[in-house]
Chains A and B, each alone.
Chain A
Amino acid sequence: MTDIKDKKPILQLVGVRKTFNDFAAVEKIDLDIFEGEFFTIVGPSGSGKTTMLRMLAGMEAPSEGNITLHGERINDVPANKRPTCLVFQSLALFPHMSVGQNIEFPLKIKGVDAATRKARALELMAIVRLPASYYGKNVMKCSGGERQRVALARALAYDPEVLFFDEPLSAIDYKLKKILEKELKDLHRETGKTFIYITHSLEEAMVMSDRIGVMRAGRLIQVGTPEEIYAAPVDRFVSEFVGEVNVIELKREGEGWRGVNLPGAFRAAPPKDAPQADSTFVVVRPEFMRFLNDGEEADNTLEGVVYNEYSLGSRIQYQVRVGDKVMLVELSRSNALPAAANRNVRLGWDVRDAISVKA
């Protein structure tokens, strides 16, 4: 991973806001994106991430604030005049053109002659791992993964400084997605271009990104490296977005704390860095929650009943009803809990494994 500290910003957003009628799709965003980084914007649908991308690509103008590229304001520069290129969610390949013609499109627009165009297209096809024999192939006869590569090659043919991706892998099956994620990451390293990627899948973001920005309801609520997002989610929303987690609500009671609607013992909750309030949330990942044998103790315990178990391949996930909540425990297959169904269990978690988050 590249160290972003000594990089200079390429794209900067200052107080960017976008409203449609009365609805604010994007609210006051300040963000610096550095040259050559792989930046991913993650958020659920309707979080404003696509609107944000369309503003960066020049398909929407911000209602307020400024977007600058290399320090120059580009708010009103149309998409065809920006050194940026977007890979659409639909890929937006031209169905009336062959693979080669699609890739050559930006070159043809620039007035590059046919022979140079073809040479460049074949070069790009090699880069995105498309066989040269596909040059004349009807693009609509290509498979999903092949179309993906055509779209990528076409965007690269434009030779943009910044490449945008609008959930291009969302309609691809899992196995191919994993391969393409890796290829995209390789491509990023090979080209050295700035990639800005949009997805609703944090898993996808974690695999590829140098930095991740999490969006919710038009706001950028956390920006950080994948490690930072994983280890120190800024609030409950981010922590839940990172993956399946146990969220435990705690209330102050006298000198100590108790779980809200959760039977158990809370000897050492919450973590020290928790806010000095009367109630707080802590997040415990399923792999840090464990079943306790008789007599075994942990910093905090919960009492519940196992009501479901799922196989996650090499791991098993148990769903345990505790009070009116469901807690998740993940164990490796070799440590599986015998006769788990409907078994009364005690769960234990330690303070060092818990993350304190805002509501």
Chain B
Amino acid sequence: METIGLNHFLVVSAILFSLGIYSVVTRKNAIMVLMGIELILNSANINFVAFSKYGNYGLGGQVTALFVIILAAAEAAIALAIVLNLYKTFTHINIDEIDELNS
């Protein structure tokens, strides 16, 4: 078995990304969808940091990862506010039942 390299991290990231997408696509609950998005962001972050190290790009990747974390925090706040608003409007947060686009 080869030693741990870039590809290992990338594979972990890819699996995490797919799981995140799966969660976004299939879960009924809006909060579960948000969790899926967090997974996707995390997988992207792993890529950033991994490339930062193995590509020898200095600290740029890490700084970007930091920014992504900040953005994720802001996104989570806004998204939860939206979810609360959805709850007020529909009294549930089941995304599959919210099909206002189809009217």
A, B from the same assembly: no
Chain A residues engaging chain B, CB cutoff 8 angstroms: none
Chain B residues engaging chain A, CB cutoff 8 angstroms: none
